[in-house]
Amino acid sequence: MSRESLFNAAVLLGLIAFPLWAWSVDEPFMITLATKAAILALAGVGLNIALGLGGLVSFGHATFFGIGGYAMGVLASHAQVFDPIFTQPFVFEGSKSMPVIWLFAIVFSGLAALAIGAVSLRTSGVYFIMITLAFGQMFYYFTISWPAYGGEDGLSIYVRNGFPGLNTLDPIQFYAICFTILALVLLFNARLARSAFGLALNAARQSPMRVETVGLNPYRLRLVAFVISGMITGLAGALFADLNRFVTPSMFSWHLSGELIVFIIIGGTARLLGPVVGAVVFVGLEQVLGGLSDYWHIYLGLLLLFIVLFARGGIIGGIAGREAAHE
Amino acid sequence: MSLILFAEQVLNGLQYGVMLFLMAAGLTLVFGVMGLINLAHGSLFMVGAFAAAAVAGATGSFALALIAALAAAAAAGALVELLVIRRLYDRDHLDQVLATFALILIFSEGTRWIFGSFPLYLNIPSALSGPIALPGGIQYPLYRLTLIGIGLAVAVGLWALIAKTRLGIQIQAGEADREMIAALGVDISKLYTIVFALGAALAGLAGALVGAIQSVQVGMGEPVLIVAFVVIVIGGIGSIKGALVGAILVGLTDTLGGVLLPELFKLFLDNSAASSVGSALASMLIYILMAAVLIWKPTGLFGARA
């Protein structure tokens, strides 16, 4: 086993042990904190498929996070007041069921990723960064100025949505759902990276011309990766909305897109667990530094600056040493 | 809508456009010459506005406030370039985005720490307050008209600086071939610091000028920054001419869209639906414009680099 695999196993064990410990000593806030980290990690894992594997620096992944959030908000808000979303050609009342909400979140964020990716991937480099950023802002301002679903104030859901057979209001059970999804997506990510598609995508990142020469279309590979990436981040958005029982346009904000990239960089770019480590560290820092100072963003900024300037490769990069990022 | 109201909105759009140009010019110059994406440019806008508000509050002089804004933003820009940005020229865009994102966090929280969370106010100088009568019976605020004038004057000045002066020629040469001009004996790192400080000063000027119309608060630079990116993407990254055309285009589209789209929807929807659909769509309009331009020309209107 490489040092990176050992570290990864330790991280996953920690993500199981910490909430179980918090549960045993009756600290529901700690479980909620772990849930937040797991959900943000899931969003980061989604972004890492585009950014790490595909080399696509998307600065607009909050778009998909927000769409997932609003999928939950719209479906659940209609269901909780018994006001159908539409009545033609059949009556659709919305839903308070997590699996139904997840399906909508995945489908709609996938469609948005398809449309945004189709336009954005015509460009590359700095244009791609700026365009994805601008698309995110487009959704942000749209939700702010669209009064039907709360506008700037967002939407509140009174009771967390349900999952068959579980009590989602119990923090540890909701955490179990989020962690299971994270684990499944990590498994999928690991398989994807080693599949023919993953290898071709990785090759397209390193040398698009060679990939074209062997008869593959880099644009199509990147678009598929972008859509998969958007769908996973959308699912994370739906879970995040359920964690807070609240959605606002801030889920679309470009700060969040930046933070998702920050997770990946803190943890280590293109590392399987990079975004997970990054999200855990970020949520931990927010808690610890936030308790020490009202101005904790200064320390976060300095830390980030230090990592970018002097400690490239992030935390996992530092632990794994010279081992290659792509095995 | 009356013609007079329409003409006023066109002027508002122009005013917004030339302010965007002051922001976009620095961004596009820094990108064109050094190949660097600077997300912290919005922070320099904020630094300018806060410096102006603080000096105007202490001395009561708007002219001194403007000088302070220029000086503070240029100094902050030069300092940031020396300490951080200079290590990023050879890095990929991802590192640049992250490091300058970190600078935003530091600038915003630092400003909040010094000035507190409450907005400051910067008054329009009394000589420029009040409306002025324009031909055709239009009453338009003199201050906003002055802003249009200043913005256009800066555009001309910047063009002259780049096309006609020794510094401008060095900047153009640095854009074309960095090693060659270093070999010719030009101190390239000093040149970069100057270009960066110049871009910062323009952003600071925009911040001070706009600060008298809006309130001066932490985070005020960020919405402007994003729109300035839209401007340079539309105009073509690295092109000053593109930045000017893009800025005017975006300024007019945003302002006129906000007024005209709800009116347009009133033709076939009831009033409240028309105003909500219209304003929601208007808020997306510049991004739709950008997408349309990029579908047509992936490197922007005047861009050469991809």
Residues in chain A: 327
Distance from CA of B142 to the nearest CA of A (A): 30
Cβ within 8 Å, pair B294-A127: yes
Q: Give the position of tokens 């070999």.
A: B183
β pairing state of A246-247 and B131-134: unpaired
Residue B54 phi, psi (nearest 5): -65, -45
Does a structural domain hold residue B25? yes
Distance from CA of A262 to the nearest CA of B (A): 7
Q: Which residues in chain B have Cβ-Cβ distances shorter than 8 Å to A141?
A: 283-284
Alpha helices (H) in B237-270, listed in sequence order: 240-265
Q: Which of A209-246 are b and which e, b meaning 16 or more Cβ less than 10 Å from the residue's Cβ?
A: eebeeeebebeebbbbbbbbbbbbbbbbbbbbbbbbbb
Mean pLDDT throughout B215-244? 89
- Contact criterion met (CB below 8 Å) for B50 and B120: yes
Q: According to the model, what pLDDT value does residue A327 have? A: 39
Q: Is B140 helix (H, G, I), strand (E, B) or coil?
A: strand
Q: According to the model, what pLDDT value does residue B202 have? A: 94
Most distant CA atoms of chain A, gap in Å: 60
Write out pLDDT tens, residues B161-201.
888 888 888 888 877 777 788 888 888 888 889 989 999 99
Q: Domain count of chain B? A: 1
Check residues B274 and A206 and name the one with the higher pLDDT: A206
Given CA atoms A299, A305, A311, A316 in this order, what sign does their dihedral have? Answer: positive
Cβ within 8 Å, pair A308-B226: no
How confident is chain A (327 residues) per 10-residue block, as mean pLDDT? 84 92 91 96 96 91 96 90 76 85 96 94 85 89 84 86 89 94 96 93 88 89 96 97 93 92 86 92 89 84 86 77 51
What's the start-to-end Cα distance of chain A, in Å? 12
- Contact criterion met (CB below 8 Å) for A120 and A128: yes
Given CA atoms B109, B114, B118, B120 in this order, what sign does their dihedral have? Answer: negative
Neighbours of A184 (CB within 10 A): 11
B298 vs A51, A57, A122: nearest CB: A122
- How far apart are the C-alpha atoms of A216 and A209, rounded to whole Å? 10
CATH number at residue B183: 1.10.3470
Long-range Cβ pairs for the range B9-12 (8 Å, 24+): B9/B255, B9/B256, B9/B259, B10/B252, B10/B255, B10/B256, B11/B138, B11/B140, B11/B144, B11/B145, B11/B148, B12/B144, B12/B255
Does a structural domain hold residue B291? yes
Nearest one of A135, A144, A134 to A112, comparing CA atoms: A135
- How far apart are the C-alpha atoms of A276 and A284, rounded to whole Å? 12
Does a structural domain hold residue B42? yes
Write out pLDDT tens, residues B6-35.
888 999 999 999 999 999 998 988 888 888
- How far apart are the C-alpha atoms of A205 and A126, rounded to whole Å? 15
Does a structural domain hold residue B86? yes
Q: Which residues in chain B have Cβ-Cβ distances shorter than 8 Å to A263?
A: none
Structure-block tokens of residue B256: 């006129």
Q: According to the model, what pLDDT value does residue B123 have? A: 82
Distance from CA of B200 to the nearest CA of A (A): 20
A146 vs B103, B108, B280: nearest CB: B280
- Contact criterion met (CB below 8 Å) for B231 and B24: yes
Check residues A309 and B304 and name the one with the higher pLDDT: A309
Does a structural domain hold residue B36? yes
Nearest one of B25, B22, B40, B45 to B162, comparing CA atoms: B25
Q: Which domain holds residue B35?
A: 3-296
Instruction: Give whole-number Cα distances, B127 to B61, B141, B145, B146, B212, in Å.
Output: 11, 12, 13, 11, 14
- How far apart are the C-alpha atoms of A155 and A136, rounded to whole Å? 19
Nearest one of A44, A49, A60 to A257, comparing CA atoms: A60
Structure-block tokens of residue A104: 């909508």
Q: Identify the contact set of chain B against chain A, taking CB-CB distances under 8 A.
A: 31, 37, 84, 87, 93-95, 97-99, 101-106, 108-110, 112-113, 222, 226, 229-230, 232-233, 237, 276, 279-280, 282-284, 287-288, 290-291, 294-295, 298-300, 306
Q: Could you say which DSSP state residue B123 is in?
A: P
Task: List beta partners, residue B131.
Answer: B141
Domains and their CATH numbers in chain A: 3-320 (1.10.3470)
Q: What is the CA radius of gyration of chain B?
A: 20
**Quick one: what percent of chain B has pLDDT higher than 70?**
99
Mean pLDDT throughout B121-126? 82
- Contact criterion met (CB below 8 Å) for B286 and B20: no
Q: According to the model, what pLDDT value does residue B306 have? A: 41
Say what angle helices B271-296 and A125-144 make with each other, to 10 degrees.
180
Q: Which residues in chain B have Cβ-Cβ distances shorter than 8 Å to A145?
A: 276, 279-280, 282-283
B280 vs A124, A145, A254: nearest CB: A145
Does a structural domain hold residue B303? no
Does a structural domain hold residue B302? no
Does a structural domain hold residue B305? no
Lowest mean pLDDT among B20-34, B44-58, B242-256: B20-34
- How far apart are the C-alpha atoms of B72 and B208, rounded to whole Å? 11
- How far apart are the C-alpha atoms of A215 and A102, rounded to whole Å? 36
B87 vs A144, A146, A309: nearest CB: A309
Mutate which: B43, B98, B103, vs A, most A CBs within 10 A:
B98
- Contact criterion met (CB below 8 Å) for B254 and B13: yes
Nearest one of B40, B47, B53 to B71, comparing CA atoms: B47
Q: According to the model, what pLDDT value does residue B284 have? A: 86
